[in-house]
Structures are given as structure tokens and as C-alpha cells.
Amino acid sequence: MKKQTILVVDDAPENIELLNLVLGSSYNIKVALNGEKALEIASNPADLPDLILLDVMMPGMDGYEVCRQLKTSSLTYKIPVIFVSALNDAHDESKGFEMGAVDYITKPVSTPIVRARVKTHLALYDQNKLLEDRIRERTEELTHAQDVAYIGFAALAEFRDHETGAHIIRTQQYVRTLAQYLSIHPRFQSYLSNEEIDLLHKSAPLHDIGKIAVPDRILLKPGKLTPEEFEEMKKHTVYGRDAIAQAEQALGNLKNSFLRLAKEIAYTHHEKWDGSGYPQGLAGDNIPVSGRLMAIADIYDALISRRVYKDAIPHETAVEIIANERGKQLDPDMVGAFLELQDTFGNIAQNITDTAYGNP
């Protein structure tokens, strides 16, 4: 079993020699003679120490400042720090704990006390790491289950519409690609954080979940829909919103974690920039960013894909059609981004084919 590593920080070689004598047989000992060197050693991501024994009074950077910097670093803040100091005033000890130390040992040190406290804090550190690992594993399992549920529910709608799982995956990729590109755009950077983009990617498959409630005679009709049939088809946006809203209600306080965007996308991805869309006739920035992103992804994929009522069209023609809808049906800045990314969209379409997902 690999020995745990202790970093001993002290400007007095005799103190280091003593602690090495006390602990060296049980632990791997690293040494720093000043605060700057201690921070350098402790911040090596490939070999982080498991515990730090830190003197207070050192030339240059004192132990308190070293501890403060350790506790403000995302890399080292979890490493337990024990002060080992000749300062034995209650104020000094209190300040050490305020800096984030887990213990304070006064010099001259007692061998049994040093060994016992080091052993105890390393055990606690290991237990905390184990607990964090288990929580992370459980979170990953729940996230995976959530993602599978997204895809499963979305597939129900797609399969009824004679579309494929490839449409789901492609539109996910289009949305993520477009959102990442726009994340530095002045109009969108405050909204498109990494977390929001991840949620957009997960939510995109549910954009047409409401089609499950559309009658087959309309959903599967090979020809053009009558005005009455089209009015019924348009209701899939409302059906989708309502179904996801019910799921939100069942989840209670967890609802904002992932279904918020799914509901928004399902309800607004057929709104148009000029206000001629449905179901609400929203225009411009009144259409949620998520709905505008999904609109471009969905329209592009619908154009290049074969449907029961139409043949697929070439990528270049689809790009031209979307370009012509700039400032009409679609957000002008988003169309601009799409035109910059058109080759990426084409590559996604080529790599994620209907044939690979079950359609000829």
C-alpha cells in the first residue's frame, strides 16, 4: 500500500529532522524551508500532499499566509493543515483555526501527540475523500439515468413521426455547437454559461415530445395538411409544455435543475423572429434564447432529412434557405453564427446518419 505524503514546512532544519524521525517510518515526507517553496510543492497536481505540517514563524511569508493561500486555491483547499509552532498563546492558536487549519500543535512537540493527531486527521481526510467519491459516483449515476430518460421519452415522439434517434442526436449536437459559438457574443454571453449550454444539450431531445399526443392521421399524413389539421399539429408545442410541466411538478424542488429549459424549448421552438410563429406569436428577443437555438437546429435537420411528406434536400440548399430567413423567421445573429458553422453542421449530419439509427 502506497504511503501517504506529509509536507513538513519549517525554516529550522532541526525541527524538520525531528518530525522526519517521528513520522518518516510511516509516511512519505516532503520538506520545504519557506512558505514560497511550500506552496510550489503543495500545488503540484500530479503529487498533492495528503497533509501539511506548517510552522508559523518563518522569514518572508509566514505560516498564516501560506495557509490562507492554500485554502483559497481550488487545488489545495481540501488538504488538511496542522500548525506546529512555538507560539502558544490562545490568540495565535485561534488565528490558526481562522486561517483554515484543522489542528494546532505547540513546540516542543510530543512524539505521541504528533503521531496521534497526524493519524487522526489523515483518517478523516481519507473518509471525506471516500464520501466525496461516493457522492460523485451517485451523482453521475443519476445524471446518466436522467439523460437516458430524456432520450427515451424523446424517441417515443420521434418514432411515431417516422423519424429516428439520429435526429435527436444531431439536433443535440447542433444546439451545443451553436450555443458554444455564441457564448462569447455580446447578446448572449450573459446567458450561455457552460452550465446552461449543458442543460440545453440535454433538453433539446424533448423539443417534439408533444407529438405523442397528435393523432396518427395527422402526424403520419404523407401529404400536405389541411388548415384544420395544421392547427391540431401546432398544438404539439402546448402538449409538450404541459407534459414537461407535470414532470416538473412531480419533481418539486428539483424541477429547475433540468426540465426548465426542456419545457421552454418544447413550447417556443416554432416561434419566429418576425412574430409569425406559434403558439404565442412571440417576436424578436421575446422568444427565449433556447427556442431560437432549437429553431435553427430543427429546421436545418428537417430540411436535410427525408420525411414521409418530402425528400431530403442537399446541405448547400438548406444553408441557403436558412440564410434567407435571417431576420425573418430566425434570429439574425444566430443565423450569422450558423453560416460560420455550416461546415460543422454538415459534418455532424454526415457522421450521425439515419441509416446508423435504423432508417434506410
Identify the pLDDT of residue 75: 92
DSSP code, position 89: -
Identify the pLDDT of residue 159: 58
Helix axes 165-182, 111-160, angle to 10 degrees: 120
Taking the C-alpha atoms of residue 338 and residue 334, their distance in angstroms, rounded to an integer, is 6
Phi, psi of 225 (to 5 degrees): -75, 145
Beta strands, E only, 3-87 = 5-9, 28-32, 51-54, 81-85
The C-alpha cell that represents 70 in the structure block: 492554500
Taking the C-alpha atoms of residue 191 and residue 261, their distance in angstroms, rounded to an integer, is 12
Q: Is omega for the bond preceding 108 within 30 degrees of 0, making it cis?
A: yes
pLDDT digits (tens, 9 = 90+) for 105-157: 999 999 999 999 999 999 998 888 888 888 778 767 666 666 666 665 666 66
Q: Does the pLDDT of residue 162 top 60, yes or no?
A: no
Identify the pLDDT of residue 246: 83
Name the β-bridge partners of 7. Answer: 30, 52
Q: Does the pLDDT of residue 196 top 90, yes or no?
A: yes
Identify the pLDDT of residue 100: 93
Taking the C-alpha atoms of residue 199 and residue 152, their distance in angstroms, rounded to an integer, is 17
| Confidence band for 216, pLDDT divided at 50, 70 and 90 | confident
pLDDT digits (tens, 9 = 90+) for 89-117: 899 999 999 999 999 999 999 999 999 99
CA 247 and chain centroid, separation: 22
Identify the pLDDT of residue 56: 94
Least confident of 27-41, 131-145, 195-209: 131-145
How high is the mean pLDDT of the chain? 88
Identify the pLDDT of residue 130: 85
Contacts of 317 (CB under 8 A, 6+ apart): 303
Q: What is the CATH number of domain 161-357?
A: 1.10.3210.10
Q: Check if the beta carbon of residue 64 is closer than 8 Å to that of residue 96.
A: yes
Identify the pLDDT of residue 213: 87
The pLDDT of 318-327, averaged and rounded, is 97
Report domain extents, the chain: 5-132, 161-357
Q: Does the pLDDT of residue 164 top 60, yes or no?
A: no
Greater model confidence, 358 or 137: 137
Taking the C-alpha atoms of residue 53 and residue 80, their distance in angstroms, rounded to an integer, is 9
pLDDT digits (tens, 9 = 90+) for 260-289: 898 999 999 999 999 999 999 999 999 999
Contacts of 82 (CB under 8 A, 6+ apart): 51, 52, 53, 54, 101, 102, 103, 104, 105, 117, 118, 121
| Confidence band for 360, pLDDT divided at 50, 70 and 90 | very low
Percent of the chain clearing pLDDT 90 (strictly above) = 66
- Fold of domain 5-132: Rossmann fold (3.40.50)
To which H or E segment does residue 256 belong?
A: none
The C-alpha cell that represents 85 in the structure block: 509552532
